[in-house]
């Protein structure tokens, strides 16, 4: 069997039955995209028969739309008379692939309605009249159905390459079936697949029998997997044409038109080498060699028209001079521009060809989205010289969406290159058309063209990530294409046996044949979700019933979760699911496991005597935040629930190792919610919806900090990248049920590699810190002493702290770092507070005036006779959870990151390069909260709460400018807060640093000038138009983010809301906080020049109550004063 090395490699296939196939046929591919694709399945068979539990209506249009939605998966339709609606040719169906501008934007959930009835390139048909009944394949009838009735009737190539056959195939007749298929002219030399299931079962329990599978492999090896068929060579060898030719089996050539700029080779030897390049089994060394050979050949074509000049000094060995026209030298000035890193593999062969060519690297990478703009991270184009370049040759092995190549070409045009060409190995039709549309003067030279793009913009079938294929993938990354399937399968098959601690593992034997057959084996008639999973080249003597049960258990566990997630979350949850599934499988199939264990090879011990596993481990080092909907079901735990990590009513115990830190219990036997420092007053929500990591395990995962204070001996990093050495951010699971599970916010320069937040503490004030460092006034090694800085009063925790959607712009634990994150402080981490809570006395002239006028009455507790009121106040720095902020605005996180990066003039490149870091400390002002009365009463909806949310106005609030109502409204709110506190309630004023509607004070003053100088004067009708004209927008405060601070305080109901703003009211109520009454500013408190503002705002939607009525006529009449 060692001679079977040329057999196809293992691929994972899944049979969908019952509810799973119903979902796809109703337009829901979420199970495929969220579960099967991440596990590595690339072939999905739809068993749409009643015997297989299918109840959904059969619609070819919906099927085609599902194929378009998941282009990286081959969908196989089980074809028989019952399913004819899916696979029979319809009148309006065309046989050529549709012209796509790009991959489908649907990545999960419902598929988009298909606007075309063209046959998807990833659709295949399995002719199976047996459906598990063991009925013998009638090849003649199946071929007749294929050539006369199927969707591939008019497409000879698809008839030969996109079909399979099943029905009664077993070890005794496999050779005959293969012989019949090879004798049929329909297939010629093409590859077809056969599917068998019933013929591989034995015993009373109807189990899969590996011995029968082995017998099939022996029979196939005897018959030969491949047939040596001489193919007619193409008429023109070596020519580059604008028409790509794809060879079909015995049916001639299928042709398609491409742009005139496309130069596609039809050289047979080159096609052979490209095939080797595509093969995922090709090692990096061979891949590099093959890419050089292909580049060398294509390089001759692209340089064929370069200018030359005659030489007159060439004398042949015969002594004769070589005449003009024969003796030449290249006169072209060539620049090679590889797009790093994959393009670097194409440089050397071209330098061998054109030794004097210049090399100018451009570093770009494409992110996950199909049509996101590429990111340029490096460029070595000289400042001048483009006008002296006769040919700039862009080198990129794969041209998929062409976004990266387009950016490189445009850059070279701006540079001044006279002629530009692109050299690659593979391209997509879409990419070639896009380049031709944008750059009709740029020729593209490639070896082959592929039909389609994946959801992420990758070329299909493609050749994988050429950079990874050239130089190896990053540590821990999954290789491109179906290699991920193998990785996932190894993980599925892993787990401890019951045989004295032995380990089930992948035995790499010479049985390559068996791996092919295992792909087709599944219990599709008995399970709704089942993937036929096997490990590459397993030993034929291992009957691994456990691994099959593990695969099924993982799929069943994963099928309930259809939420999109990040790769890291997916891996963690799959690892946890795997661990549970192994235990389930062992209990369910212990007898089979014991039989399999008898054949297991010995496992070499490690140095400590323990067995060594060859599969992926199931231990997880991270936890994931529970879904929002689950957290909301548990807002408050039972009264008896306590925690060893809770905030304490008394001064927290200090850790000797970290001043200001609370000592956390590390007793691994203690239950969560118990411990010596438990508090019955503050409780955590139960973490029943999170991985059940005990406290000791979580504590053990906290690595010691890496200090990076002295950078003199290291390079200055312009940016960092996720998944690379030096980027190991500390744990951060926003909204987790305990601080230990969530992790601290780390944003100081002290732990550069372990930062889990972008930006810097103190926002814009970090610039002053930099000045202090530069001037020598601040020692960067200084550690803040926080022993005496703990909050003056205790705030929280509240249920909203554990809902990742409720608070996305501040750290709810920011004031309690010493208590919440003691384990990190104990290890020496520099965890900085982002919230400070203190007490103060406030003395305002307006309060003294209110005392004199008897609007306020002193009580000696809230308000003194001198007019001083007692407050609790909290200063808050913004900490943005980028996924949550993006969700608030209904945009993708990618769109938000791009906008933040662009509008800060590229100040924060890690917004682009560090998708693994979800926190951002923006360089904006924070907020201050002033509280009159008891903080503890705020969460009680039955206790009166008065609230104002105020946006900064320096001119009015501090200096008393009368052009707006800001200070009068603020002081009125303070009076109402004092009165509420005196009645036993609580008053809150939140002061946001959003000067000039967050447009800035300069912009605000420019608007003032325009209002006063415009024709007709400062009229209310033009109030908002002036701001729009100057700033391009009327308001950027975006009140959707404002309610977070109220949720941090535990607010659930506001009895009296001191604000007329409709935007603030809408944002608060939309966040789930109830507002009972809205209070407008008394008319007598509105300054004369502020009448313009009030009239304009009320007319445009502000709450006017009974005091303010503004119609269109009054809007025109209200006018402010002129400049003096």
Q: Is the dihedral of CA 227, 232, 233, 236 positive or negative?
A: negative
| Tokens representing residue 457 in the block | 């913009």
> What whole-number distance in Å separates Cα of residue 980 and Cα of residue 976?
6
List the Cα angle 875/947/745 in 5-degree steps: 30
Kind plus residue range of the DSSP H or E element containing 588: helix 567-588
DSSP string of 805-857, one letter each residue: TT--SS-TTTT-HHHHTHHHHHTT-----SEEEEEEEEE-HHHHHHHHTTSS-
> What whole-number distance in Å separates Cα of residue 95 and Cα of residue 251?
15
**Helix locations, 615-680, DSSP H:** 628-631
> What whole-number distance in Å separates Cα of residue 883 and Cα of residue 176?
58
Answer whether 335's CB lies under 8 Å from 393's CB: yes
Enumerate residues 6+ apart whose C-beta is below 8 A from 750.
705, 707, 708, 709, 830
> Burial, 819: exposed, middle or buried (Cβ in 10 Å; 0-12, 13-18, 19+)?
buried
Q: What Cα–Cα distance (Å) separates residue 268 from each residue in 231, 273, 448?
A: 10, 9, 11
Cis peptide upstream of residue 341 (ω within 30 degrees of 0)? yes
DSSP string of 461-514, one letter each residue: S--S-HHHHHH-PPTTPPPSTTHHHHHHHHHHH-EE-SSTT-EE-----S-HHH
SS3 869: strand
> Burial, 254: exposed, middle or buried (Cβ in 10 Å; 0-12, 13-18, 19+)?
middle
The residues annotated with a catalytic role in the active site are 1035, 1037
SS3 995: coil
| Tokens representing residue 776 in the block | 């020598």
Closest CA to 53 of 80, 75, 85, 21: 21
> What whole-number distance in Å separates Cα of residue 98 and Cα of residue 107?
19
Checking DSSP bridges between strand 868-876 and strand 927-933, what pairing results, if any?
antiparallel
Answer whether 742's CB lies under 8 Å from 733's CB: yes
3-state SS string for 70-86? CCCCEEEEEECHHHHHH
Kind plus residue range of the DSSP H or E element containing 126: strand 123-128
| Tokens representing residue 527 in the block | 């399970």
List the Cα angle 367/373/376 in 5-degree steps: 80
- Other residues' Cβ atoms within 10 Å of the Cβ of residue 422: 31
Q: How long is the chain?
A: 1124
Answer whether 595's CB lies under 8 Å from 543's CB: yes
Closest CA to 216 of 14, 612, 5, 517: 517
List the Cα angle 748/749/750 in 5-degree steps: 90
| Burial state string for 913-935 with b = 16 or more CB within 10 A and e = fewer than 16 | bbbbbbbbbbbebbbbbbbbbeb
| Tokens representing residue 361 in the block | 């690297």
Checking DSSP bridges between strand 658-662 and strand 262-265, what pairing results, if any?
unpaired
> Burial, 510: exposed, middle or buried (Cβ in 10 Å; 0-12, 13-18, 19+)?
middle
Query: How many contiguous H segments (helices) and E segments (strands) does the chain have?
Result: 38, 42
């Amino acid at each position: 069997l060692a001679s079977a090395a040329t057999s196809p490699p293992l691929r994972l296939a899944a049979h969908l039955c019952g509810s799973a196939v119903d979902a796809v046929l109703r337009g829901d591919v979420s199970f495929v995209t969220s579960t099967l694709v991440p596990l590595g399945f690339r072939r999905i068979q739809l068993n749409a028969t009643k015997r297989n539990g299918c109840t959904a209506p059969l619609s070819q249009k919906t099927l085609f739309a599902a194929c378009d939605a998941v282009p990286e998966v081959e969908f196989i339709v089980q074809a028989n008379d019952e399913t004819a609606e899916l696979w029979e040719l319809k009148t309006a169906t065309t046989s050529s692939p549709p012209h796509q501008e790009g991959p489908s934007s649907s990545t999960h959930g419902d598929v988009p309605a298909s606007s075309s009835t063209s046959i998807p390139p990833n659709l295949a048909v399995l002719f199976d009249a047996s459906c598990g009944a063991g009925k013998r394949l009638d090849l003649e009838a199946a071929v007749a159905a294929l050539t006369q009735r199927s969707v591939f009737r008019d497409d000879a190539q698809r008839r030969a390459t996109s079909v399979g056959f099943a029905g009664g195939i077993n070890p005794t007749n496999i050779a005959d079936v293969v012989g019949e298929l090879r004798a049929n002219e329909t297939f010629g030399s093409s590859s077809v697949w056969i599917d068998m299931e019933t013929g591989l079962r034995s015993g009373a329990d109807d189990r899969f029998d590996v011995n029968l599978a082995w017998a099939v492999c022996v029979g196939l090896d005897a018959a030969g997997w491949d047939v040596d068929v001489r193919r007619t060579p193409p008429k023109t060898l070596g020519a580059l044409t604008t028409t790509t030719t794809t060879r079909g089996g015995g049916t001639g050539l299928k042709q398609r038109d491409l742009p005139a700029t496309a130069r596609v080779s039809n050289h047979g030897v080159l096609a052979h080498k490209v095939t080797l390049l595509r093969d995922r089994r090709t090692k990096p060394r061979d891949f590099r060699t093959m890419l050089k050979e292909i580049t060398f050949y294509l390089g001759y074509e692209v340089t064929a028209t370069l200018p030359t000049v005659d030489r007159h000094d060439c004398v042949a060995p015969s002594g004769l001079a070589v005449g003009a026209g024969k003796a030449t030298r290249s006169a072209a000035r060539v620049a090679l521009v590889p797009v790093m890193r994959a393009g670097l593999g194409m440089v050397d062969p071209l330098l061998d060809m054109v030794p004097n060519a210049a090399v100018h690297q451009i570093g770009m990478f494409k992110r996950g989205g199909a049509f996101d703009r590429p990111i340029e991270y490096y460029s070595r184009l000289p400042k001048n010289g483009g006008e002296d370049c006769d040919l700039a040759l862009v080198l990129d092995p794969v041209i998929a969406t062409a976004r990266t190549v387009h950016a490189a070409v445009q850059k070279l045009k701006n540079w001044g290159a006279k002629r530009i060409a692109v050299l690659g190995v593979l391209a997509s039709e879409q990419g070639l058309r896009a380049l031709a549309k944008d750059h009709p003067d740029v020729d593209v030279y490639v070896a082959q063209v592929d039909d389609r793009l994946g959801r992420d913009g990758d070329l299909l079938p493609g050749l994988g990530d050429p950079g990874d294929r050239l130089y190896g993938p990053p540590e821990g990354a999954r290789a491109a294409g179906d290699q991920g399937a193998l990785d996932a399968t190894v993980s599925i098959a892993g787990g401890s046996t019951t045989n004295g601690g032995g380990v089930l593992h992948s035995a790499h034997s010479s049985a390559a044949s068996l791996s092919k057959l295992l792909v087709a084996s599944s219990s599709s008639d008995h399970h709704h979700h089942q993937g036929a999973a096997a490990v590459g080249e397993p030993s034929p003597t291992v009957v691994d019933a456990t691994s099959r049960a593990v695969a099924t258990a993982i799929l069943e566990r994963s099928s309930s979760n259809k939420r999109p997630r990040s790769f890291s979350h997916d891996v963690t949850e799959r690892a946890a699911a795997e661990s549970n599934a192994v235990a389930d499988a062992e209990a369910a199939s212990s007898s089979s496991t014991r039989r399999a264990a008898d054949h297991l090879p010995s496992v070499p011990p490690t140095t400590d005597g323990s067995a060594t596993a060859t599969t992926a481990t199931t231990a997880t080092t991270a936890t994931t935040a529970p879904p929002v909907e689950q957290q909301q079901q548990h807002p408050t735990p039972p009264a008896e629930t306590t925690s060893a990590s809770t905030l304490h009513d008394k001064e927290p115990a200090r850790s000797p190792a970290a001043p200001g830190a609370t000592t956390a219990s590390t007793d691994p036997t203690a239950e969560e919610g118990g411990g010596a420092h438990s508090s019955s007053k503050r409780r955590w929500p139960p973490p029943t919806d999170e991985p059940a990591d005990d406290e000791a395990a979580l504590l053990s995962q906290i690595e010691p900090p890496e200090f990076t204070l002295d950078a003199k001996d290291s390079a200055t990093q312009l940016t960092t990248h996720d998944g690379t050495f030096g980027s190991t951010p500390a744990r951060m699971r926003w909204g987790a049920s305990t601080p230990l599970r969530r992790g601290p916010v780390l944003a100081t320069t002290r732990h550069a590699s372990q930062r889990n937040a972008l930006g810097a503490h103190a926002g814009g004030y970090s610039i002053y810190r930099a000045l202090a460092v530069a001037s020598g006034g601040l020692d960067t090694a200084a550690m803040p002493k926080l022993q005496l800085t703990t909050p003056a009063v205790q705030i929280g925790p509240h249920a909203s702290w554990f809902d990742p959607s409720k608070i996305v712009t501040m750290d709810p634990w920011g004031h309690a770092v010493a208590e919440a994150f003691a384990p990190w402080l104990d290890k020496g981490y520099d965890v900085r507070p982002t919230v400070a809570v203190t007490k103060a006395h406030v003395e305002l002239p307006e309060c003294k005036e209110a005392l004199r006028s008897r609007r306020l009455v002193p009580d000696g507790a809230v308000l003194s006779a001198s007019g001083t009121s007692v407050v609790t106040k909290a200063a808050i720095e913004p900490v943005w959870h980028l996924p949550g902020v993006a969700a608030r605005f209904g945009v993708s996180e990618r769109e938000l990151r791009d906008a933040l990066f662009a509008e800060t003039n590229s100040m924060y490149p890690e917004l682009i390069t560090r998708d693994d870091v979800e926190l951002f400390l923006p360089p904006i002002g924070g907020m201050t909260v002033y509280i009159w009365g008891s903080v503890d009463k705020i969460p009680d909806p039955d206790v009166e709460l008065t609230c104002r949310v105020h946006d900064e106005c320096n001119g009015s609030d501090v200096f008393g400018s009368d052009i707006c109502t800001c200070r009068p409204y603020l002081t009125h709110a303070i009076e109402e807060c004092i009165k509420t506190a005196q009645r036993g309630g609580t008053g809150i004023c939140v002061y946001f640093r959003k000067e000039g509607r967050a447009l800035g004070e300069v912009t605000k003053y420019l608007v003032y000038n325009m209002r006063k100088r415009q024709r007709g004067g400062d009229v209310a009708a033009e109030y908002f138009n002036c701001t729009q004209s100057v700033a391009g927008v009327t308001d950027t405060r975006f009140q959707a983010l404002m309610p977070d601070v109220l949720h941090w305080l535990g607010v659930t109901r506001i009895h009296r809301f001191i604000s007329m703003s409709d935007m603030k009211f809408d944002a608060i109520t939309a966040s789930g906080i109830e507002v009972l009454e809205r209070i407008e500013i008394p008319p007598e408190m509105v300054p004369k020049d502020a009448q313009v503002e009030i009239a304009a705002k009320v007319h445009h939607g502000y709450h006017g109550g009974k005091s303010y009525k503004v119609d269109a006529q009054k809007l025109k009449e209200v006018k402010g004063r002129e400049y003096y």
